[in-house]
Chains A and B, each alone.
Chain A
Amino acid sequence: MITTFDIFDDVLKLRDMVDTFFRDTPSAGNRPYDFPYVNIFEKDDKLDLRAVLPGIKKEDLKIELNDRTLTISGERKNTCTDRPCIRRERSFGSFSRTFRLPYSVKGESISAQLKNGILTISLEKSDEAKPKRIEIR
């Protein structure tokens, strides 16, 4: 097979690499996910959502389950609005994030715990979503 060698091919490749690097690197304001970030754990019929919500009070947080969608919303209040700020890295304001659950869950057995800025929502698969064995008559 004969291929032509173009001296600029590698240069263009390098340019693409640099572009990808800057576009895909997670940095402030360019995160692939919305606030709050969650980790989801699944074991057997149990689903655990763990969201990082530092500085958010229980009262400022709302969790809603609507059929198979779970919404976490709330507000992160700025506690230091009256003082002059010399460095600002944290962000404040209201947020909302909705998750589509892989199956329906038992509404009555949902529990949520907020500790050290980490919210854990424990969900359990509903009986309707569990696999059913059908007897052959």
Chain B
Amino acid sequence: MSKELKTGREEKKTKYTAPIADIYETESEYIITMDMPGVDKNGIEITLDNNELSIMGTLENPMETENLKHAEYRLYDYRRTFRVGDDINGNSINAVMEDGVLTLNLPKKDEVKPRKIEITVA
């Protein structure tokens, strides 16, 4: 019985939502914005492993279900993985968490940025 209860809890733990995201590209960087309501900045974990950028978000407070009378949504921890190209400078990724929205700035490597070539007149 107790074993059953335990496994039930573990199953619950493995539920995730894939947060919805927008991706923008500029000359110098990629910007990913993701909706992760209920997560504060301490609950965010970002890892870049080879070409896989994974974002995990843990809810600050697990969703309460006690006294719930009308439900339209459910909150789970968030998890989403993006495959990124080789043109990203992995060391200078910047992340900002604000109002439940995570903004990631992925700067491009200098080699791929457009360059202006000065013409020197001899």
Q: Report which A residues bind B (CB closer than 8 A).
A: 33, 37-43, 52-57, 79-80, 83-90, 114-118
Residues of A within 8 A of B40 (CB): 115-116
Residues of A within 8 A of B21 (CB): 87, 89-90
Find out whether the CB atom of B99 lies under 8 angstroms from the CB atom of A42: no
Nearest-Cβ distance from residue B28 to partner chain A, whole angstroms: 11
Find out whether the CB atom of B22 lies under 8 angstroms from the CB atom of A87: yes
Say whether, besides A117-B35, A117-B36, A42 and B67 are in contact (CB < 8 Å).
yes
| Cα–Cα, bound, A41→B94 (Å) | 37
Find out whether the CB atom of B26 lies under 8 angstroms from the CB atom of A116: no
Nearest-Cβ distance from residue A79 to partner chain B, whole angstroms: 7
Residues of A within 8 A of B99 (CB): 54-57, 114, 116-117
Nearest-Cβ distance from residue B102 to partner chain A, whole angstroms: 9
Find out whether the CB atom of B24 lies under 8 angstroms from the CB atom of A41: no
| Cα–Cα, bound, A79→B75 (Å) | 25
Find out whether the CB atom of A39 lies under 8 angstroms from the CB atom of B100: no
A–B pairs, 30, beta carbons within 8 Å? A33-B72, A37-B72, A39-B72, A40-B70, A40-B71, A41-B66, A41-B69, A52-B37, A53-B100, A54-B35, A54-B36, A54-B99, A54-B100, A55-B101, A56-B99, A57-B99, A83-B26, A85-B24, A87-B21, A87-B22, A89-B21, A115-B40, A116-B40, A116-B60, A116-B99, A117-B36, A117-B99, A117-B101, A118-B37, A118-B38
Residues of B within 8 A of A86 (CB): 23-25
Say whether, besides A42-B67, A57-B99, A116 and B22 are in contact (CB < 8 Å).
no
Interface contacts beyond A39-B68, A41-B69, A116-B40: sample of 16 additional A-B pairs, CB < 8 Å, sorted by A: A42-B69, A55-B33, A55-B100, A79-B33, A80-B24, A80-B31, A83-B24, A84-B25, A86-B24, A89-B20, A90-B33, A117-B35, A117-B36, A117-B37, A117-B99, A117-B100
